[in-house]
A and B are shown apart, each in its own frame.
Chain A
Amino acid sequence: MTWGDTLRNGIDAIRNHKMRSALTSLGILIGIAAVVLTVGLGQGAQKQVSKQLAALGGNLLIVSPGSSTSSGVRGGFGSAATLTAADATALSSKVAAPDIDRVAPVSSSASESLVNGSTNWTSTVVGTTPDWLSVRGRSLSSGRFISAADQSSAAAVVVLGSDTASELFGPIDAVGQSVTINSVVYEVVGVLTSAGSDSSTNLDDQAVVPISTAQQRLIGGTNRGSVADIYIKASSESRLSAAYQEANKLLAYRHSITSGSSSDFTITTQQSVISTTSSVNGTLANLLIGVAALSLMVGGIGVMNIMLVSVKERTREIGLRKALGGTPSLIRRQFLAEASMLGLTGGLLGVGLGIGAAEILPHFMNTPVSISVTWIAIAIGVAIAIGIGFGVYPAARAARLSPIDALRSE
């Protein structure tokens, strides 16, 4: 009885009980599918983060207004108003912050309807300064970006994202055309090169105007002078933490904050972007890992159960095999092979289901899933190992059967 024979026997045993085997491997199937998905989600998220980081541009710090931990009264309303364009100007001072290369304040973005004749398109309109382009690591496919002159004169000019431009103007070059936003006619001076999308926003669907224009024409009320975020580009990657310290100190001084705990702004580094993303994904991943562990456990017990039934059912066969020369170790091996085949069945079906889900999921959730061959191999290995692990006891029982009793049984 070679290994080949043993495996053939195992496959035959599965074939002879197709339905039972399929149902038995269900637990393992779900578990393995969950494993494949978990890993896929993790890897997808990782890819997305690195893409996002590349999209953010290198050496980037983001200053956001007051965290929710800031004092209660200012909380909800004030949280968006703690940063001002003056803060941005202060940060760009080479004297106060020598390690900060460029600064780009961004007005709170507004969802506005952009109109070109009879065509309209709702997009995110954001106000910023000329340095935005280099800070965000973007480039133009045609035209020019907002100039310092536009900035100082609060000119009605707009730079469109590539998707926005094509939605409004189709194949025609948008530069030189005009769009109406909030009843004001803007001249399109440039179109951004496509940058793809990050987790929540399509980076190619936006309209950029000078921050002064945004403050005057798009943002009303008391928030007029405030900015939503300040993007800071450090002079080099190695100066990132120095830039962080300088920005932190300068803003704390400007906002008269003495203790770090009550600060009304948050500085985000790329590192914290990564950890936020991965912690968000971590919740989903933990859930899936829980599902995986539980169903693999249940699946394993299912395998053990059905193997015990099989040993009981085939007592006579075991007796016969022993009479014909099946040693206890060969009998054990036969049942272990069957259990591993059950595991393999569940593993293969589970990988199939996992890959299917990975194809379908991104259509419903904004979550990329990437499947790796290595992990598929590992998942199948795990499935087989579970089959074998939970098959040990039934196989040992089969091997222990006395041939006489086994032959006599009905």
Chain B
Amino acid sequence: MVTQRLAVTNAAVEIITKLKENNGDLIFNQSGGCCDGSAPMCYKKGDFYVPSRNIKLGEVCGCEFFISADQFEYFKHSHITIDCKDNFSGSNSFSLETAIDKQFVTVSRIFTDDEYNNLEVK
């Protein structure tokens, strides 16, 4: 069986569905460091210019999920679950869920050898 890189929790599905209703199609880009970094940023499709060399990790709820090529080098051994938490403290990112007091987070675990060997893109 082909190993999937991404999974999504019910809490995240609920918020993605809600954001889609309000904003139309969405995309995700995993962000790098600093304050609100190392988290998935969610934008209206077309609002964020996805760098042409970014890698598509997969899709969540029909939304493409990208990561920069250099960051992928260190993420390629990790399975990522997209979760969504309450966030009443706000954020300084422009990610759409921040407007409704939520925050997407990536929860990682390292692939087992079997899982890694069955990835489509290593």
Decide if A and B are genuine partners: no
Residues of A within 8 A of B (CB): none
Taking beta carbons and an 8 Å cutoff, which residues of B are in contact with A?
none
